[in-house]
Structure 1
Amino acid sequence: MFMGEYCMNGKLFAQAITKVISGLLLVGFLLFLPAGSFLYWNGWLLIAVLFVPMIVVGFVMMKKNPELLRKRLNVKEEQSEQKTVIVLSGVMFLAAFIVAGLNFRFGWIVLQKWIVYAATAVFLLGYILYAEVLRENAYLSRTVEVQENQKVIDTGLYGIVRHPMYMSTFLLFFSMPLVLGSVISFVIMLVYIPIIAKRIRNEEQVLEEGLAGYSDYKKKVKYKVIPYVW
């Protein structure tokens, strides 16, 4: 049993490391190739604040809750509507990263450094919220589904908004282009609002149909993502 668990964790570790390395290479390619230079310091800043916390959180999950890490690594959506969301999100990030690199190369709009640093602080705050959501909700898969024996979580951040994970992604995704020094990329990332609205609409439908108590939870917690706003 011990050897079996060790092998499973070893495979999970290898899968996680592969994801990180491939993600690092992809982000670097999308940023530095359009920038035409490795001197694009905003790109290095984003890579640092994106991947260092990611690795730390990954190691914590590996130690404390490997099953949650396994769920987070699974990106195969069963819902056709969610597959569309994944594609649209990918196009959004692709465009935002490429434009940010081009913005550095051609100097279209140069942000003051204090804006970049403030955005970096917001980005890290988003990561802290992300980590807290992972701590609170052991059912937090990346795919829209109702898991076996899943229960409604209504404490902590889930007592404030129904989708605190998406609240954290708002902070992450809207600060990211400013970390990269690109206002144009920020405008591109605003597309995330209708994209995530589409995802939430489908997700709540799935949860209401398959998760006992979710309808009552919706009545108890009025806001989806942003308190007093949405």
Structure 2
Amino acid sequence: MKTLGKGAVSSALGLAAFGLTLFLPAGTLHYWQAWAFLAVFALSTWIPSIYVLRTNPAALERRMRAGPFAETRTLQKIIISVVFVSFTAMMAVSALDHRLGWSRVPASVCVVGDVLVMLGLGLAMLVVIQNSYAAANVTVEAEQKLVSTGLYGIVRHPMYVGNVILMLGVPLALGSYWGLVFLIPGLVVLVLRIRDEEQVLQRELAGYREYQHKVRYRLVPYIW
């Protein structure tokens, strides 16, 4: 019940913050793309979270420990701070784009964006189901076991694949092409996070070096 209560409060506050980030720059509540995005985001997080809460509440608890203050390494604190700022700016600029009419994005593209948001969030939650130690911060717990099957048998960081899909989908869902500019800093800090995280995993997670030889690619098969 404690995890349920924390999750409900966190979700409510998160959606409220998203709403302010979108509707204030947009200057109007008549912004169907924002309402659709919020609905898709909420459902794509709530439904899998309820399932994880029922089946593995400890995994959900790990996912809720997120943000710069949850990181123990200075570099990761900086990286997560940049990620948060970039994501917020992406939404705010997309909403401002709606207000000022910089982009002309067809409704069909907005729907595609919502689908990408759903896929990105869904993939991230599927990773949590397959690996209950997939925390939101870079850490290795004493009893943690290496997972090398399922999505982890395709790429070493499937959670971040979901994040990339999410970042691509958000501006499109909100009806903005200009918001895609923030993909660049988002991808840069994601690469830095992965490189630093792998150094930690090599030192602290048994079998990780062998796993790197077995699964060669971090995010995209045959590319990186």
Normalised by the size of structure 1, how large is the TM-score?
A: 0.93
Letter in 2 for 1:38: L
SS in 2 for 1:191: helix
In 1, Cα distance between equivalents of 2:193 and 2:96: 30
What 5-or-longer segments of structure 1 have no aligned partner?
A: 1-9
SS in 2 for 1:153: coil
SS in 2 for 1:165: helix
Residue in structure 1 matching 2:3, options 1, 12, 17 = 12
1:39 aligns with 2:40: no
Equivalence map 1:131-142=2 (5 Å): 131-142=125-136
Equivalence map 1:177-196=2 (5 Å): 177-196=171-190
2:137 counterpart residue number: 143
Normalised by the size of structure 2, how large is the TM-score?
A: 0.96
In 2, Cα distance between equivalents of 1:39 and 1:110: 17
Letter in 1 for 2:63: R
1:131 Cα deviation after fit: 2.5
- Equivalent pairs counted in the alignment come to 221
Letter in 2 for 1:178: L
1:100 Cα deviation after fit: 1.1
Q: C-alpha deviations, 1:144-164, integer Å up to 9, x for none?
A: 011121111110110110000
1:126 counterpart residue number: 120
Residue in structure 1 matching 2:80, options 73, 83, 86 = 86
Q: CA RMSD in A?
A: 1.0
1:189 Cα deviation after fit: 2.4
SS in 2 for 1:190: helix
1:155 counterpart residue number: 149
Letter in 2 for 1:60: Y
In 2, Cα distance between equivalents of 1:38 and 1:69: 33
In 1, Cα distance between equivalents of 2:180 and 2:200: 31
1:204 counterpart residue number: 198
* Seq. identity, %: 36
In 1, Cα distance between equivalents of 2:78 and 2:41: 25
Looking at CA atoms only, which structure, 1 or 2, has the larger radius of gyration? 1
SS in 1 for 2:206: coil
User: Is the 8 Å Cα contact of residues 174 and 190 (structure 1) preserved in structure 2?
Assistant: no
Letter in 2 for 1:126: G
User: Runs in 1 of length 4+ with deviation above 6 angstroms?
Assistant: none
1:7 counterpart residue number: none
Letter in 1 for 2:113: A
User: Is the 8 Å Cα contact of residues 168 and 183 (structure 2) preserved in structure 1?
Assistant: yes
